[in-house]
A and B are shown apart, each in its own frame.
Chain A
Amino acid sequence: CSEYQKALKSVDSGTKYTVGEKLYNAGKYAKANKLFEQILPVYRGKPQAEKLSYLNSKCYYEEEDWYLASYHFERFVDAYPNSEKVEEAAFLSAKSAYMLSPVFSKEQHETKEAIDKFQSFINLYPESEFIPEANKLVRELDFKLEKKAFGIAKQFNTIAGYTRDFNAPIKAIDNFIFDFPGTIYREEAYFIKFDSAYQLAINSVYSKKEQRLEDAKSYYYTLKRSYANSEYLEKADKMIEEIEKELENYSTKS
């Protein structure tokens, strides 16, 4: 019968605590946590509870149970705002939330929650040793939201041939650039906007065609001005040639 088994059956909370701590230090987090959970109610409201609930949260963290880790660290921060571990707990709570953030193409509720947690951590402990990592993770999360918004806008362009709605990608790209002005996708976004406007103009009825061709042309120049060496220019140049040719029809007739 191992020490752990004995402690598990023991009625003495103190034994459980010491054995649990020993297991924790040895890296046996699952076993340690089992003991901690048994004695948490006993110590609730007592001074030992502070360390115990920190260890408990940390075990969840080490076991990669991110949801519980995030929750328990957050509770720890609320319950012991004066603890010396509170800074670390706040960071780990945010980091656990970060771990819960799903792939960019799904619901980003967790991502936003993690960003909020990091933000309040950064505001509270601007001098913390964890700040560089926090900043890095927040950037990663922000980029997820950016990638999501861009993916959606881009899809409106991809399916525009089917939906016959070329305005949707233009509007969606505008919204995207407005929301993420510093995006790394700006170049591609400009091209998608031009491409959508080009298709809208080419497929247009006569009465609206000229204006739409002009609009598309202006988007082309936005792309060219901002990204003179853009990889999209080769394609875009061919499209603008066609637009110019179409526009000639209007100038010769008038």
Chain B
Amino acid sequence: QELQPAPTGKKYTLGDISVSGDTHFSPQTIITYSGLRKGEEILIPGDKISEAIRKLWTSNLFRDINMYLLKTEGDVAYLEIRLFDLPELKELKINGIKKSKKDDIITESNLQNGVKVTENLVTTTKNYLTNKYQKEGFYNTKVHINTIEVPDSTGRPGVNMVLNVDKGKKVKVSEINFEGNSALPDSKLRKAMKNTKQKNFLRIFKRSKFIETDYKEDLESVIDKLKENGFRDARVISDSISRIDKKNVAINIRVEEGEQYRFGDISFIGNTVYTDQQLRGILRINKGDIYNGVLLEKRIADETKPDALDITNQYQNNGYLFSTINPVEVNTEGNVIDMELRITEGKPVYFNSVTVVGNDVTNDRVIYRELHTRPGQLYSKANVVRTIRELSQLGYFDPEQIATNFNNPNPNEGTIDLEYGVVETGSSQVELQGGYGGGGFIGTLGLSFNNFSLKNIFNPEAYKPVPRGDGQKLALRLQASRFYQTYSFSFTEPWMGGKKPVQFSTSISHSAQFLYDPTTGNADRDKRFNISGITVGLAKRLTIPDDYFTLSQAVSFQHYNLKNYNTGLFTFGDGYSNNLAYTIGLSRNNTYNDPVFPTGGSNFSVTAKLSLPYSLFNGVDYDMLIEERDAWLEIQNDPNNSTIIRNQAANQVGAIDQERFKWLEFYKIKMKGDWYTRLFGKFIVKSGVEFGFLGAYNQARGVIPFERFFLGGDGLGSYSLDGREAVALRGYPNQSLQPIDGENNITNDGGTIYNKFSMELRYPISMSQTAKIYLLGFVEGGVSYNDFQDYNPFNLYRSSGAGVRIFMPAFGLLGIDFGYGFDALPGQTSPNGWETHFIIGQQF
């Protein structure tokens, strides 16, 4: 049988294909894999043959592949594929490394049993290990790999591998010496070397190591340091590393400083948009200053800070995207360098198309209405930054992953395309819990969807798993136990009508509470207290004074209905009360970037909640009513009267109170401000001020016992009957800080005036999408009163403490705070001490 080379490009029909060589794959498998099939027409030599060989090579299973034309019979060609399997790794032995690290090395370098051993694998493993240990400071690491061929019992080629690693001693730099420097001391140059450090037991964070690549970089930094000081000809003449002992090396660097240069005249050429004087103001370099190339470069374009005040940004933020600034030295006589900044301004650039990609869930219109860069607009970096910020505040996209891509720049036309890339993130929350408390099982089901689509609610195809993408919010909450049930539903559409950001929101809630029946030990359904409410609101983003302002208005109605139910709230057990109020609020929020962890900006709001002044027009003489009530109250409280008379009096008081509370009459004013500032590094300070006041139009009718402020604790809106507002004040028990009245008595129905100051220092630990975690430390103080006469805003209950917050998209915000109350609770004398607060879904 004679093997002959194939003649060129002749058409054949494929006859049999045979497989020879040394392989454990079946011939059939190899032929199928090669893509050749018996009976097909091929050219020899031709594409199909080389393609077949290439395919077999890409399998990475063979070490040698050849294809032969065995013979031809007429136009039928017989082929032979000869190939040899690559040897497999049988046994691996690693010497010189701790046992615990061996598994890591096996996975990192992919040295599992059965892997095909190629030259490439051996070399990459060797390089990988050498690099790995050199990076850890073992400069003298040596790695040897031996392979031993061992065919296994079935004749398959196999290989045993021995990995010998000799890490040697850890090498430290005990000395760094400089020669040839006269203007700058050694210490300054050593400091310039950011990664290669001399041994020093005081330095804890950066250990002395010798790593070749870092060292090379550091040599550059030394030269840069000299250049910053006017020695622009500075260079390293020689550097050597000498071994002191096995563990220590010394580095000797010889530099040549050259002459020190100074700036001469700096002139601007080609600037038409800005005057020389304006540009000089940004450059801030004067004639006679020591020449500093690095500073000059930074003032022209600072690569390290994207929002720096430099000449490039001055042009970039005003549409001149294609502007270039080119510093040229025109004269260097007498070590004084005259500079020319040659500016090519180019055309101002306008956005041509502006697109958004990656919105797999959210509809276009929900996104495009938030853009501050629109087609036809002048390019502005600042507007791009603002758009990114506002897109991230929507909460539908991962703030860390919002990207901007500039496409098709056209300097001649002055146009560019801008594409925002977004990545959708989960914005729905589900709460399902069951628990035992209050004498029975309590079940809660809460659903909240932040990117809901109401119009698709009857479209079965949109349920993935709920209709999403229209930027609406929908929340449902059901809670039930034997003794009470609450249902609430709320819906928000941020752009009602789609023309303007007019937010429409509505919520409906109903709760029913039953009294405990001691005879059955169960809820007594005949003794109940129902509260039903509905709120409809509109909020509008304003453009004046600036477009961070929001004006909101709402009308709310609540109906309280009692049946055989005596509470401390009402003096009557059967009756009703209505609360119809109008709320108007003005707020300004320019916090950025991430709503969970703002790093700057402020959030300020003022609201007023008002009822109608019924007493003006309902014809009831409240002065007389209150006298009558006082009289009945006296009879009721007089222990000398008989029970019948006292009960009658109590009923009369109840009847008068029913008249007083038929329609609640009040006004309530609240103010709140939070400021976020970056202190240093990643530390953010949040400072906050709050104030609230509840008043009555008609003093005789009195301030209502509803809607009051309760200070203390975590501030979570616990279940309450009376529309109270829980104001957080850590370091004290929930709602414990009741006002003290003029006669030093502690009241228990909340305050009508309060104020609070707080400071919080925050530090982010993780800002990843799956979990945002930050630590915080706080100091705060607040106080509430029942009367302006007693009011002293600085007589505070103070506290301080620390805590942590975790935000996970599926759970919302969770946290725990430990607070220490420095002041005594009302009626007590010693400081309140430590309190632990659990925070769910709410920000202080």
Contacts and interface: CB of A to CB of B under 8 A. Distances in A.
Interface of A: 45-47, 49, 81-82, 102-103, 105-107, 109, 148, 151-152, 155-156, 158-159, 161-165, 167-168, 170-172, 175
Given A47-B32, A82-B40, A175-B353, A163 B360 contact: no
B359 interface: yes
Given A156-B368, A161-B500, A46 B32 contact: yes
B341 interface: no
A110 B33 CA distance: 31
A162 B364 contact: no
B498 A106 contact: no
B375 A168 contact: yes
A103 B464 CA distance: 13
B40 A159 contact: no
A102 B359 CA distance: 11
B374 A47 contact: no
Contacts of B352: 171, 175
A contacts with B: majority SS: helix
Contact of A175 (B40, B359, B375): B375
A109 B368 CA distance: 18
A161 B499 CA distance: 7
A81 to B, nearest CB: 8
Nearest to B422: A107
A151 B374 contact: no
B375 A155 contact: no
Given A155-B498, A158-B499, 13 more contacts: A45-B25, A45-B30, A102-B360, A155-B365, A155-B368, A156-B374, A158-B498, A165-B374, A167-B377, A171-B352, A172-B374, A175-B352, A175-B375
Interface in B773-824: none
B362 interface: yes
B364 A105 contact: yes
Which 4 pairs from chain A and chain B are nearest by CB?
Answer: A171-B376, A168-B374, A45-B29, A171-B375
Nearest to B351: A171
A109 B40 contact: no
Nearest to B461: A103
18 contacts: A45-B29, A45-B30, A45-B32, A49-B32, A106-B359, A106-B361, A106-B362, A107-B359, A156-B368, A158-B499, A161-B499, A161-B500, A167-B376, A168-B374, A171-B352, A171-B375, A172-B376, A175-B352
Interface in B190-215: none
B203 to A, nearest CB: 51
Interface centre among A106, A109, A156, A163 (most CB of B within 10 A): A106
B363 interface: yes
Contacts of B368: 152, 155-156
Interface of B: 25, 28-30, 32-33, 35, 37, 40, 352-353, 355, 357-365, 368-369, 374-377, 469, 498-501, 543
Interface of B: prevailing SS: loop
B368 to A, nearest CB: 6
Given A155-B369, A159-B369, A159-B500, A107 B360 contact: yes
Contacts of B364: 105-106, 148, 151-152, 155
B415 to A, nearest CB: 10
A172 B35 CA distance: 50
A171 B378 CA distance: 12
Contacts, number: 85
B1 to A, nearest CB: 27
Contacts of A172: 353, 374-376
Contacts of A164: 543
Given A107-B358, A159-B498, A168 B376 contact: yes
B375 A159 contact: no
Contacts of A168: 374-377
B365 A151 contact: yes
A105 to B, nearest CB: 4
Contacts of A156: 368, 374-375
Contacts of B500: 159, 161-162
Contacts of B469: 105-106
Nearest to B415: A171
A173 to B, nearest CB: 9
B505 to A, nearest CB: 19
Contacts of A161: 499-500
A213 B361 CA distance: 41
A148 B364 CA distance: 8
A163 B374 contact: yes
Contact of A107 (B29, B40, B353, B357): B357
B326 to A, nearest CB: 32
A107 B424 CA distance: 11
Contact of A105 (B29, B363, B376): B363
A159 B499 CA distance: 5
A107 B360 CA distance: 5
B37 A82 contact: yes
Contacts of A81: 35
A111 to B, nearest CB: 12
Contacts of B499: 158-159, 161-162
A158 B498 CA distance: 7
Contacts of B543: 162, 164
A165 B377 contact: yes
A201 B689 CA distance: 46
A162 B501 contact: yes
Contact of B357 (A102, A109, A152, A155): A109
Contacts of A163: 374
Nearest to B375: A171
A67 B486 CA distance: 43
A109 B469 CA distance: 17
Contacts of B362: 106
Contacts of A165: 374, 376-377
Contacts of B35: 81
A163 B362 CA distance: 21
B467 to A, nearest CB: 11
A155 B498 CA distance: 9
Contacts of A102: 360
A221 B498 CA distance: 29
A175 B352 CA distance: 8
Contacts of B376: 165, 167-168, 170-172
Contacts of A46: 28-29, 32
B177 to A, nearest CB: 59
Given A152-B364, A171-B375, A45 B33 contact: yes
